[in-house]
Amino acid sequence: MIDIIGMIKKRKDIVENYLFLSLSTIFILLYPLITYPYLIKVLGQELYGVILTSQMLAAYASILVNFGTNHAVTRHVSFNRNDQKILSSILCNVISLRFCLFVAVFVLYFAIVLLVPMYREYWLLFVLMYGFVSQDFLYPRFFFQGIEKMKFTSMIDIIIKLVFIPLIFIMVHNPGDYLWVPIIYTFGFFISGIVSLLLVKNKFCIQFTLPTIDGMKFYLKDSLSLFATDMVCTIKDKFSYFLIGASVGMSELVVYDLCLKLSAMVSKPFEVLASVMFPRVAQTRSIKQVYLTAVISFTSAFLLCLLINIFLDDIVAYFLYQNIDLLPIRVFLLSPIILSVSMIIANVMFVGFGYNKYLFYSIVVTTIGYLTALLFFFFTGQLNSIMSFVYIAVFSYTVELIYRFIKAKQISGKLKATIV
């Protein structure tokens, strides 16, 4: 008979991290369910589409400021979790590196806002939305993930969402209140960053020391491949926002955003699982753990997508207050099923086993597939509907999975050969 209690005790850290991250995920899922339809109703689809565009531009800035450190540095924290001196050096060098990038990227960000006419019209919205980037500057998620104490990040995330929700309803009542949206985001993310750093200092006795140029250069270079991966991936995933807004319209952009939000809701459980398993797999290098994680992810994604499809009419009516063609959303819901396996291979296996280059190569291959499909629809005159962008997204995710699966089999073969 399987000793379930014994297995749980043996993997106490994994179970605890998963439970806390799951709790945080529930709040992340509930947040758009409450605020998203309210903001669309109060601000209108056109204005909310502009807010989405500013968020996407800020998302690009976030990638530049984070520079792949969340994943790359987690491994260093995990290996040195019992050495406070090294941990202090890691934290201070990484946060200092991010600060330098935060300032430099803002100059580029503001220049883009001034150069694009539509952005310039809403320049204050875009500038305030840059505060969104503070979460990637201050928040040391890599530290908590590396020491496998994700309950702290979960509690901070939950508290921030509990602050966001009432403030949105209190401050935003009509289209003229739209600037309160980025102000509330900035306030919440900045406070969460400060609180997390104080927690690291007081709870884990980490000392804030002066960074070194060599230390910052090391983490900049070490994170480069993952940064390139994140940037290319963001271009692939977020570039469609700008194209849809420009060629199809801001109202259609809101529909496409709903596709992505529903996909993200499905993706959250296996993202949590990947975050929990990554530090352990990095230590054990267990192929069996990777495969088990992938099976659990695929099963959960498939069942959740099936459930959403059954109630899709009611879900769309709740979010958008109008009847729309549901086919784009139904087709797009294939994406999280594909990603459920693809993401585990990339974030747990490739990064955990030190094959960061395969992660980058897979994103490059996917982006080539994305651009090829994009050019095909453009030259055939079909890049004028949301359905075209849905087909492009699903195609690119499929190409990504095929490449990653092939490389995963190769890595598995190498490890088995080494053991023999």
pLDDT digits (tens, 9 = 90+) for 361-402: 888 888 888 889 988 988 888 888 889 999 999 999 999 999
Query: In the chain, where are the structural domains located?
Result: 13-222, 224-420
Least confident interval from 176-190, 205-219, 238-252:
238-252
Residue 104 has pLDDT above 90, yes or no: yes
pLDDT bin (cut points 50, 70, 90) of residue 172 is very high
Q: At which residue do the structure tokens 């598995």 appear? A: 412
Tell me the per-residue pLDDT of 120-154, one tens digit each, with 9 for 90 and over: 999 999 999 998 888 878 888 888 878 877 777 77
How far apart (Å, rounded) are the C-alpha atoms in residues 327 and 321?
Answer: 17
Residues of the chain with pLDDT > 70, as a percent, come to: 89
pTM of the model: 0.73
How far apart (Å, rounded) are the C-alpha atoms in residues 124 and 132?
Answer: 14
pLDDT of residue 260: 85
Closest CA to 359 of 274, 263, 417: 274
pLDDT of residue 420: 42
How far apart (Å, rounded) are the C-alpha atoms in residues 101 and 163?
Answer: 28
Q: In Å, what is the CA distance from 372 to each residue of 230, 235, 375, 393?
A: 20, 14, 5, 12
Tell me the per-residue pLDDT of 224-257, one tens digit each, with 9 for 90 and over: 877 877 777 677 667 787 788 777 777 788 888 8
Mean pLDDT of 15-24: 68
What letter represents residue 8's amino acid? I
pLDDT of residue 282: 66
Residue 14 has pLDDT above 70, yes or no: no
pLDDT of residue 176: 92
pLDDT of residue 175: 92
How far apart (Å, rounded) are the C-alpha atoms in residues 384 and 295?
Answer: 37
When the pLDDT of each residue in the chain is averaged and rounded to a whole number, the result is 83
* More confident position, 57 or 30: 57
420 exposure class (CB count in 10 Å sphere: 0-12, 13-18, 19+): exposed
| Cβ–Cβ under 8 Å, residues 404 and 346 | yes
pLDDT bin (cut points 50, 70, 90) of residue 417 is low
pLDDT bin (cut points 50, 70, 90) of residue 111 is very high
pLDDT of residue 416: 66
pLDDT of residue 17: 67
Residue 117 has pLDDT above 50, yes or no: yes
Highest mean pLDDT among 15-24, 33-42, 149-158: 33-42
pLDDT of residue 7: 43
Task: Say which residues have a Cβ less than 8 Å from residue 51's Cβ, sequence separation at least 6.
Answer: 39, 43, 125, 129, 178, 181, 182
| Cβ–Cβ under 8 Å, residues 228 and 361 | no
Q: Strand locations in 100-229, DSSP E?
A: none
How far apart (Å, rounded) are the C-alpha atoms in residues 237 and 234?
Answer: 5
Mean pLDDT of 91-95: 90
